[in-house]
Amino acid sequence: MKHVLKFKWPITALMLIAAVVSFIVSPNLTQLAAEKGDVQLPDNMPSEAAAQFLESHDQDVEMMSIVLEFDENPAEHQEDIETYISELEGLDYADNVINPFTFDDEMQESFINTDTGVIMIPMEYVGDLQEILANSEEVESLNNTAGDISVTSNEMIQKTLEEDAMNGVRTTEVFTIAIIVIVLLVMFRSVVTPFIPLIAVGIAYLLGQSFVGWFVEWFGFPISPQTQSFLIVILFGIGTDYVILLLNRFKEELEHHDKHQAVINTFKTAGKTVFISGISGAILFGVLFFANFEIYRSAVGVAIGILALLLSLFTVLPTLMAVLGKYIFWPSKQTSGSGESKIWTPLGMLSLKYPTRVIFSVLAVLAVLIYFHDDSVHYDSLAELDDSYSAVHAVNVIGDSFDAGSTFPVEVIFNNGEDLVTEDGLSRLDSVAEAASKVEGVKEVQTLTRPLGDKMDELTVSYQLGEANSGLTEIQDGLTEMSTSLSDINEQLSNSDTASGDLSEIETGVNDISDGIDGVSQYLTATGDTAGAAEQLQQLSAGADQLSSGVSQANSQMQTMTEEASAQMEELAAGLSEMSSGIDEINEGLTGVSDLMTSIEDNEAVDETGINVPSEVLENSEFESAIEQYSFADGQAVKMNVVLDVDPYSNEAIEVLDEIEESVNNELSRLDRQDTDAYFSGVTSMNRDLDTLTSDDYTNVVIMFIVTLFVILTVLFRSLVLPVVMIGSIFMTYFASMTISQWILSMFGIDQLNWAVPFFSLIIFVALGIDYSIFIIDRFKEEVRYRTIRDAIETSIRRMGTVVITAVIILTGTFAALYPSGIAILVQVTSIIIFALLFYAFIVLPLLVPALIVTLKRGNWWPLRMPGGKAREDRFEDK
């Protein structure tokens, strides 16, 4: 420190220049967060694997939904709407703009709600995703209809979240500075003191954010929209706390030394505590680098900020102290750090007088609160945003007028490297779709075989066999009529005076075919043997061919005879001609039924699925649009949209997705298609992966945090017991505070926390709260060399109480600056941290910690000796 004071002006000038220059030339951290701060899941997560598969086949289409709201039926504005659609089709970033008016009435219901006056116009967005918000504004500006417009898409919602976060950062910066100045003016009653931490911490913030920006740009350092907000409040919060601690000690030293020596003594004592606390915090935040999730890793930037803070505190702050001296507190002659705490002292005395009662009482309260802790969270990103944003309003309107599940369905993609758009493949696809549709919470399943979401009974074998039997019955009826007609003709011929042939053989042939069809029908009903039925039908068809020839020959004879015969013979000849045509139609019918039986027999999937997709369906021109919509990669991949009957962003949707996946995989296994890959994409799939990843990462990071903190505190205090007391007390405080915070937040309509809140609130509270524990225990360690354990902890409580309370008030005030940001995740994190800090500072630290220390006595330093060694232990009998 002597060297710092000796070269204070060059060092201070260098720090100022470095801060200003780095801030000017470094990348814009806010812009970097917007560009690279998306929620990025690891490649091995199912939804990410699905996204990569779709991207590899150019199927990662960004669907944009345009919503128009009218006071009446949108059909009354059809001309204006179609004009608007034509203008949209002219945009270079728009493709496949859908005109709902081109659909039939049933299909239109999915896009037009006549009751609410809402029409939804989907289109593919093929432009730059970074420009999607700007382009969406152009889409809205083109609207010349009488309806109100809003636009949404998955990427728009993400970009809106980022924009909201950036607006929050600007608000946070202003309120943080304002709150620090106001609180310090009140606490210190000085017009100079409030600006000391602003200068020291301000330089650190400029340096810290500059280096974070460079690291993001050069080394791919993790970043998120919340990185800058946390950097601001944490640096200014703990920075101000450290400055207060140093200024209080500086005030004490000024009573006995000149300002030069007071600075040296301040940093030799309090400076050591600040350094230890700062390094501990930097290490704890640095541990986050080893998390798997990028959003969690993004908080590691705070570690860089803390290192920059320590550099500024040990260079710039000593200069300010040395230059201003006692005038640093002007005009006040007294700081809030002087004297005993009127709050901590009585609480501390109570805990030292009745340590056992206090321990059991506090632990009982903590245990009850922890018992009621609810760890459920939500993944609804829309809940973070206000309805005033176009992307959010559009989704809300769609949810009210149509079905949110149809806007954000679960997309299942099947692929096995072979052509799936075949009779066999589509039969199995529909069987899987049927299994998925039976899952509770699924509204409908849309795919190639059911493009409108409804099951097509025509594709079931039972339906087709029923139709075949009906066809055979109709053929039999025709043959019966034909037999009767032949009998009449034969009778008329026998009664005529003209020599003619006998048609009895033809009549017998017709009856034989009719009997044969009846036998086939009974055989098919009894056995279900489509192959046998097809073979018999082919034989009957051959008989029908011969019969047709016989009728034709008889008709020729009759034509010859009519030249010499009466008008009656002419009428009989006409009847035979019609009969010949009828037999040909019957033959065609038999061939059609036979082909159907053959199709069913050749389809290997029929026995497993009970479904048969005939070749005529595949060749149908109307089916081609469904093929184009639901298949790609030359038919080797097909899509299945599962529309949920619940909010796709809800936790319930995640549970439904689990059941859908299980159902799909079980059906594929039943169909002996384990080689078929099933990818699950969509909002719900991504949220499920978030749930899995965050839960695993949360547990891993907490373990790393505890181990790292335990090692640091063990080395610092040379004890295995004190770290347990400190870590245990802070974690119990956190979970108890979470319960109360959730109760309070629920009063304001926040029933569930955002998925990121438990992680960030825990990490930040532990990293910051441990400082106050270090303040107390480090002072206790210093005092216990010369006092009994009870007197040492009492002195620590009396002298450090005001420092800790002042620091906590400053820190809670700093975090309160996040409230005006309006960002839900920051508001929730702030609420939990503020309550936890207050609970820790006013209950746990003054009551539980002293009671535990005085109870454990020398056991606090197990397995090593306490400070002062054997000489100190021999001097005091406080075993």
**Do residues 280 and 344 share a domain?**
yes
**Do residues 672 and 790 share a domain?**
no
Evaluate if residue 232 carries a pLDDT over 60: yes
CB 874 within 8 A of CB 779: no
Looking at residue 568, its pLDDT comes to 47
Looking at residue 417, its pLDDT comes to 84
Q: What DSSP line would sit under 683-715, residue for residue?
A: HHHHHHHHHHHHHHHHHHHHHHHHHHHHHHHHH
Q: What is the mean pLDDT of residues 643-663?
A: 92
CB 358 within 8 A of CB 350: yes
Q: What DSSP line would sit under 434-481, residue for residue?
A: HHHHTSTTEEEEEBTTBTTSS--GGGBHHHHHHHHHHHHHHHHHHHHH
Higher local confidence (pLDDT), 606 or 690: 690
Calpha distance 366→731 (Å, rounded): 10
**CATH classification of the domain holding 124:** 3.30.70.920
CB 769 within 8 A of CB 836: yes
Q: What is the mean pLDDT of residues 519-526?
A: 58
CA 817, distance to chain mean position in Å, is 27
Q: How many domains does the chain have?
A: 4
In a domain, 399, yes or no: no
- Ranking 285-294, 754-763, 812-821 by mean pLDDT, the lowest is 812-821
Q: What angle do CA 652, 658, 662 make, to 5 degrees?
A: 150
**CATH classification of the domain holding 544:** 1.20.120
Evaluate if residue 684 carries a pLDDT over 70: yes
Tens of pLDDT along 605-636? 565 566 666 766 666 766 777 888 888 888 89
**Do residues 615 and 604 share a domain?**
no
Looking at residue 565, its pLDDT comes to 47
**Do residues 584 and 722 share a domain?**
no
Longest dimension (CA), the chain: 153
Tens of pLDDT along 17-65? 999 999 999 998 878 887 777 667 778 888 989 989 988 888 878 889 9
**Do residues 670 and 699 share a domain?**
no
| Model confidence band, residue 330 (pLDDT cutoffs 50, 70, 90) | confident
- Ranking 84-98, 509-523, 649-663 by mean pLDDT, the lowest is 509-523
254: containing domain: 2-23+161-365+690-875
| Model confidence band, residue 562 (pLDDT cutoffs 50, 70, 90) | very low
Distances (CA, A) of 772 to 4, 266, 273, 304: 27, 18, 10, 21
**Do residues 439 and 337 share a domain?**
no
Evaluate if residue 860 carries a pLDDT over 70: yes
Q: What is the mean pLDDT of residues 402-426?
A: 84
**Do residues 475 and 577 share a domain?**
yes
Calpha distance 269→779 (Å, rounded): 10
Helix ranges restricted to H, 718-788: 722-746, 757-783
In a domain, 351, yes or no: yes
Looking at residue 575, its pLDDT comes to 54
DSSP state of 644: E
- Ranking 6-10, 91-95, 470-474, 728-732 by mean pLDDT, the lowest is 470-474
Residue 646: which residues within 8 A CB-CB, separation 6 or more? 405, 441, 652, 653, 656
| Model confidence band, residue 438 (pLDDT cutoffs 50, 70, 90) | very high
In a domain, 631, yes or no: yes
Where among 586, 608, 630 does a domain terminate?
608
| Model confidence band, residue 93 (pLDDT cutoffs 50, 70, 90) | very high
682-714 burial code (b ≥16 CB/10 A, e <16): bbbbbbbbbeebbeebbeebbeebeeebeebbb
| Model confidence band, residue 584 (pLDDT cutoffs 50, 70, 90) | low
Higher local confidence (pLDDT), 672 or 556: 672
**Do residues 761 and 866 share a domain?**
yes
Tens of pLDDT along 115-173? 999 999 999 999 988 889 899 999 999 999 999 999 998 888 888 887 777 777 667 77
Phi, psi of 672 (to 5 degrees): 60, 45
Tens of pLDDT along 266-318? 998 888 889 988 998 899 889 888 888 888 888 899 999 999 999 999 999 99
| Model confidence band, residue 661 (pLDDT cutoffs 50, 70, 90) | very high
Calpha distance 797→463 (Å, rounded): 85
Q: What is the mean pLDDT of residues 100-123?
A: 90
| Model confidence band, residue 363 (pLDDT cutoffs 50, 70, 90) | very high
In a domain, 416, yes or no: yes
- DSSP E strands, 9-79: 62-69
Looking at residue 807, its pLDDT comes to 83
Average pLDDT across the chain, whole number: 82
Calpha distance 401→396 (Å, rounded): 9
